[in-house]
Amino acid sequence: MKALVEGVEVDVRHWIDGKRVGSATTFSSISPIDEQKIADIAAGGESEIDQAVTAAQAAFQSWKKTSPAERAAYLHKIADIVEARVEALAVVETRDNGSLLRSHRRGVMPRVAMNFRFFADWLTQLDHPDFDVRGHRNHISYDPSGVAGIITPWNAPLMLGTWRIAPALAAGCTVVYKPPEWAPLTASLLADITAEAGLPAGVFNVVQGMGREAGAALSRHPKVRRLSFTGSVPTARTIAAAAAPNLVPLSFELGGKSPFIVFADCDFDLAVNTAIGQYDNAGQVCLAGTRILVEESIRDKFQEAFIAKAKNIRQGDPRDEASDIGPQISRAHFERVSGFVDRAKGAGMKPLIGGGPNEDLGGLYFRPTLFADPTPGSEILRDEVFGPVLCLQSFKDEAQAIAMANDTEYGLAAVVMTGDPARAERVTGAVNAGLVWNNCFFVRDLRQAFGGNGKSGIGREGGTWSFDFYCDVKNSVYAPHGWSQVGGKV
């Protein structure tokens, strides 16, 4: 019933209604570090999802009546325990998804605790001032919507999961969480943490399994009142179709093909170093600026400096502090990334660096790759690869840079590197993206609205936007004291 992962015991069963629940079938969790099996995980489906949703619906009746202060106290307790277990969470997730251990220790797992603390505090401050309409007082309130189904990806499973779980719980919803099948283990550890924090049974549930089984069952369940999903466009379409008969509000974050725009007046070294950062997490970052657009006058200089820097990237075992990037998540994903690159090469495009597996490491390690001037309209330029593959193009002027940046069906993020504040404002306003960084990258705050345009998603989360999603926002109108609803004296 438990697996020992890097010295940490992890229960491989589901967490439903405050109890561990097994399944008749299992699936294997394979480490991308060496493609060795870590554990056999209980595989849930229609039955387990129904048990979890039923438990969550029953728990909702009391959880929604729990005061904001009490809900916040639970979330702070969860954060306390996460902080005490950062090392255990970090080593398990690194083994499970292949991301850098140093990043998990220093940033990702502390952010998990921060997710709970932030939304706990935001809940207690959540307020909309009353306003007057012809002498009638209008009051805005946030009513918990019910059971929230949350499905998140494998590239930062616990952090991205809790970014949705924390506001849902804070809002007074109960949760059924379907973690990614390629990296499910820290979700089980989170279930243990919520139990230790005293969260009532049924308020938080975890059902592991395949997307086509557990995910599909959760998406179409009639008692689910909110669905939050992070992942691919095809899967989002499937979820939306399954949820449509129940008219369930959706929040989708679906990745991107973001532009990284470099003007000649930029801080050159900053631009090069920030561009190199787009290889972070072996390219498995939805926000990465994978289309590097450089002004013609500095194109050659930028390309030369970028290649020199990229050759110093240290690829290796993510548990090694010296490693800068690790492997792709799975054999299937590795082959997907390889397929993009091989097809581009087959069409005559030559990578300036990389272009294939890291022969020194073998396994799932793919070399950081850069294509220069890919064929316009080619898939390597238009589709999300989600691997360490970047494309470099040049532009003549600001207008062309904006046109090239917007030549995509996605609209998640963008990076603008310029020394001209007025240009930064103009380009930011013109680029189609939910988030634009100027002379920086990955500066994030939970107060920010986060989400994408076009194929990059539906809706926004963060700060009050999260409560707008997980709650039914109610407006109550009160006639003046002593007056009837139609304005006449009683």
Q: Which residues pair with 27 in a beta bridge?
A: 41
Annotated catalytic residue within 253, 295, 384, 461: 253
Strand, helix or coil for residue 211: helix
Cα 17 off chain centre by? 26
Strand order across the 413-417 sheet: 351-353, 369-372, 389-395, 291-295, 259-262, 413-417, 435-438
- Contact yes or no for 157/181 (Cβ under 8 A): no
Catalytic status, residue 253: yes
Length of the chain: 490
Name the amino acid, one letter, at 97: N
Q: Residue-wise over 235-248: b if at least 16 C-beta within 10 A, else e?
A: bbebbbebbeeeeb
Whether 286 is a known active-site residue: answer: yes
φ/ψ (deg, to 5) at 468 = -60, -35
Closest CA to 179 of 14, 25, 24, 16: 14
From the candidates 286, 295, 391, 471, give the one annotated as an active-site residue.
286
Task: Report the alpha-carbon angle 34-40-41, nearest 5.
Answer: 115
Whether 438 contacts 428, CB under 8 Å = yes
Q: Which residues pair with 292 in a beta bridge?
A: 260, 392
Backbone angles phi, psi at 187, to 5 degrees: -65, -35
Pairwise CA distance, residues 275 & 279, whole Å: 8
Q: What DSSP designation does 65 have?
A: T
371 neighbors 348 (Cβ within 8 angstroms): no
Long-range contacts, 304-310 (Cβ 8 Å, 24+): 305/268, 305/272, 306/272, 306/275, 306/276, 306/370, 306/392, 307/352, 307/353, 307/370, 309/272, 309/273, 309/276, 310/276, 310/279, 310/353, 310/368, 310/370
- 3-state helix/strand/coil string of 251-303: EEECCCCCEEEECCCCCHHHHHHHHHHHHHHHHCCCCCCCEEEEEHHHHHHHH
CA 165/CA 193 separation, integer angstroms? 13
Owner of token pair 């073998």:
362
- 3-state class (DSSP) for residue 391: strand
Interior CA angle at 430 toward 265 and 294, to 5°?
A: 35
Q: Which residues does the annotation mark as catalytic?
A: 253, 286
